[in-house]
Amino acid sequence: MAVYGDTSGILRDHEQAGDQTVALADDIGGIAYGDAHQLLDHSSGGDDVLTSAQRVNSILFGDADSMRGHSHGGNDTLTGAGLRDQLYGDAYGMYDHAVGGNDYLVLRASFELLYGDAHDMFDHARGGDDTMIGSPGQIEIGQGPPGVLYGDAFNMSGHTVGGNDMLLDTAVAVGDADSLSGHARGGNDTLIGGNGRADSLSGDARSMTDHSVGGDDMLVGHAGGASGLVGDASDMSGHAKGGNDHLTGGPFLASLFGDATTMRDQAVGGDDVLISTGTSNRLYGDAETLADNSRGGNDVLIGGHGVDHMWGDAATVAAGALTGADTFVFAPGGGRDDINDFRQSDGDRIDVHAYGFTQLEDMTITGDGHNTTISFDDASSVTLVGFADPHALHVTDFLLA
């Protein structure tokens, strides 16, 4: 059963839809469209309120099944309360120069899929600035896995542009789309994890290829267990370019990747900031692997109070890949950390100004023939793994007070 807020047909020219409230019947479900089946030309959707049925699956579209021309979606509110619901802030497909509204989507059950704008965005379509609220507790209380939040769509191609979205209180979230291809560009998104057992947050996509570009995103882990934060996408290939992202790990176990887990082809990393707050952390300024001719950015990695394992660029770097000039920041109470790819030739720096040090002699620098350890005080130090000669360190390798 399909329910339409305004018409089961087409809105065209400069037609404006009304503001409708649609609630699907419990135990029946179905499909609800806030405005019409199609929005064409310069038509606009209303500011609608849609609620799914309980105990069964429903599909909600804030505006229409498809939006074309210069159509514009309304500022809709969608609530998923059933099982395996699918919520689309605007439409299933957005084409031409269609623009999504600034929608508010709420997940109240497990297994749900929320898309801030559409399933597929093509051509020059643009996403709205959406707010999405997850339900992280589902994985904690045994009601099934959490839903997945996509800030804009599942697929973005062509010259599409993602909105500046907020994805909050969620265990699994992707800032823009599962896949960015063509010249698609991600928005500047904010993703904040929930308080369940794990967070998996990606600033832009799971896959970025061609000439796609990531946004400048902010990711914050909040899980009671492990947090996996990826600034742009799990896999970056082609000529994909990462944004300048800001990642803060969760309170316990955290793995932070400034751009991707794997960068290949001609992919380029952004200039990212990674902050450790957990008890045990792995920080990769760019990726776990820089393959082919990929290039890392100039990143800042900030150690916390736990044990931090840091790579300014990547754990595995291909011969043709280029690494960036990275900065590793330490402060009192930092514990025992390690840097696994400190390269003077890249212009890497160790920032210790928070300790008040003004000269190398304020620190104790020792070596064992394989690694060099810099002790800041009795409880805090950093080991430069693979940096064999402690006497090779110079004042120019540090940022002092």
What pLDDT was estimated at residue 112?
A: 85
User: What distance lies between CA 157 and its chain's CA centroid?
Assistant: 18
**What separation, in Å, do the N-terminal and C-terminal C-alpha atoms of the chain show?**
68
Strands 30-33 and 2-4 come out as parallel
Instruction: Report the distance separating Cα 193 and Cα 196, nearest Å.
Output: 9
Report the chain's mean pLDDT, rounded to a whole number: 95
**Separation CA 355–CA 255 (nearest Å):** 26
* Class of residue 265 by CB neighbours under 10 A (exposed 0-12, middle 13-18, buried 19+): middle
Distance CA 186, CA 243 (A): 9
Name the residue with higher pLDDT: 202 or 108: 202
Place 165 in a pLDDT band, splitting at 50, 70 and 90. Answer: very high
Share of the chain above pLDDT 90, in %: 85
Mean pLDDT score, 230-259: 97
Q: CB burial class (10 A; 0-12, 13-18, 19+) of residue 391?
A: exposed
Tell how strand 262-263 and strand 289-290 pair up: parallel
d(CA 84, CA 54): 10
Q: What is the pLDDT of residue 145?
A: 54
Model confidence at 155, in pLDDT bands (50, 70, 90)?
very high
Return the number of other C-beta atoms located less than 10 Å from residue 152's C-beta: 36
282 and 274 Cβ atoms separated by less than 8 Å? no
Q: Quote the CA–CA distance of 161 and 200 in Å, as a whole number.
A: 23
Two tokens, residue 285: 């300024």
Express each pLDDT in 112-127 by its tens digit: 899 999 999 999 999 9
Residue 303 has pLDDT above 80, yes or no: yes
Burial of residue 400, with CB atoms counted within 10 A of its CB: 0-12 exposed, 13-18 middle, 19 or more buried: middle
Segment 234-246, tens digit of pLDDT? 999 999 999 999 9
Q: Is the pLDDT of residue 140 over 70?
A: no
Q: Are 49 and 87 in contact (CB under 8 A)?
A: no
- Tell me the pLDDT band of 272, cut-offs 50, 70 and 90: very high
Q: What is the pTM of this model?
A: 0.95
- Judged by average pLDDT, the poorest of 115-119, 145-149, 191-195, 389-393 is 145-149
Say which residue, 232 or 222, is predicted with more confidence.
Answer: 232
In what side-by-side order are the strands of the sheet with 179-180? 10-11, 38-39, 66-67, 93-94, 120-121, 155-156, 179-180, 207-208, 235-236, 262-263, 289-290, 316-317
Sequence-distant (≥ 6) Cβ neighbours of residue 319 within 8 angstroms: none
- Exposure class string for 59-98: b at 16+ Cβ within 10 A, else e: bbbbbbbbbbbbbbbbbbbbbbbbbbbbbbbbbbbbbbbb
